[in-house]
Amino acid sequence: MFSSDKISVLGMHHHASSVGVIVMKPDYFSFMWWDGNEECRINGKLARSTEIYAQGEQDGFYAAGGARQTMGIAVRRSELIATLAALQGVGPEDVQLDRTVLQLSAKAAGRFRSSIGTLLGNAFEPGPDGFRSRIAGDPSEAIFGLLVDAYLGSPPNQLREDRPRRPEKIVRQAEECFFAAQGAPVSLADLCAAASVSQSSLYRAFSAVCGEPPLAYFHKRQLTDARRRLVHLPAYRGAVKFAALSAGLSELGRFSVEYRTLFGESPSSTLGRKPPNSSVSSPRSNR
């Protein structure tokens, strides 16, 4: 959506139930919030309209939920630390970016979101071809200031509750094991071994971070991946089978039933259809 030397802003519309992971580069620190009428969990926490979710000590965000719009902003970690240190009158070494939730009042949250929307809206205008193009008026400093104000203005003791077990690290190690298998069967024992935890600890970690059991979570990720492939594929014979197999789903009959249950339509209905407000290109054109 917008990127500069100071900040990067990304907005996404999710038109159906889905799960996803965003992993940040170590040099950046990110914030995320959510809008929608259906339940959404961000890093295992039930998302609320009065909260901004911060990266904390994690390496990114896990989000799962129904139809929704999410907005994320990434800033340079060193610049955020330097700014917070200067405003608090402390040294950079005394700033710990360990907050995971910034709780705002309803009025402050509404003002924050409205201000972000206005700043971004003023930075773009329709071009002659109908697409939006950059114009003068970089909103980076103003958006950065809003984030700093929200960070400093929220209560300071909203952290460390899940620090002892660090469930997000357990989930990440299990993910690495699952996707390294490239569609080959992966058991709970394999996931436990990869994360060096017991089965009960694995379940607790996935419940806290993803809101569901590990194998159910990964299966939904596979279905979501298949849907993404279907949206980007042209309609040709065997495309549904290709999308399913590419996502590691080999039982096509079961795939079709579970796909319809999760997304409310058949795989063939999704095939080749552009999602609202987005443009897609066929991966076959690059072959």
Residues 35-83: tens digit of each pLDDT: 888 889 888 888 899 999 998 878 888 888 888 888 999 999 999 999 9
Q: How do residues 140-182 score in pLDDT, each as one tens digit?
A: 999 999 999 999 988 764 444 434 457 888 999 999 999 888 8
Asked if the structure places residue 219 within a domain, the reply is no
The answer to which of 11-20, 128-137, 251-260 has the lowest mean pLDDT is 128-137
pLDDT score at 127:
57
The pLDDT, as a whole number, for residue 274 is 60
**Residue 88 in this model has a pLDDT that exceeds 60:** yes
- Using alpha carbons, select from 266, 264, 267 the residue that is nearest to residue 247: 267
> Per the domain annotation, does 216 fall within a domain?
no
Does any domain span residue 221? no
CATH number of domain containing 146: 2.60.120.280
| Percent over 90 (pLDDT), the chain | 33
pLDDT tops 50 at residue 33? yes
Q: Does some domain include residue 169?
A: yes
Of 133, 153, 173, which residue is a domain's last?
153
**Are 14 and 128 in the same domain?**
yes
- Domain coverage including residue 50: 2-153
pLDDT tens per residue, range 263-282: 999 998 888 676 554 443 33
The rounded distance, in Å, linking the Cα atoms of 113 and 116 is: 5
Are 61 and 186 contained in the same domain? no
Q: What SS3 class is residue 248?
A: coil
> Quick one: 118 and 140 in the same domain?
yes
Mean pLDDT across the chain, nearest whole number?
83
pLDDT higher than threshold 60 for residue 136: no
Q: Say yes or no: 99 and 194 in one domain.
A: no
Q: How far is CA 60 from the centre of its chain?
A: 8
Asked whether residue 255 is assigned to any structural domain, the reply reads: yes
As for how many domains the chain has, the answer is: 3
Cα(239)–Cα(164) distance, rounded to whole angstroms?
A: 46
148 lies in the same domain as 50 = yes
Q: Which residue is associated with the tokens 């000590």?
A: 57
Is the domain of 130 the same as that of 248? Answer: no
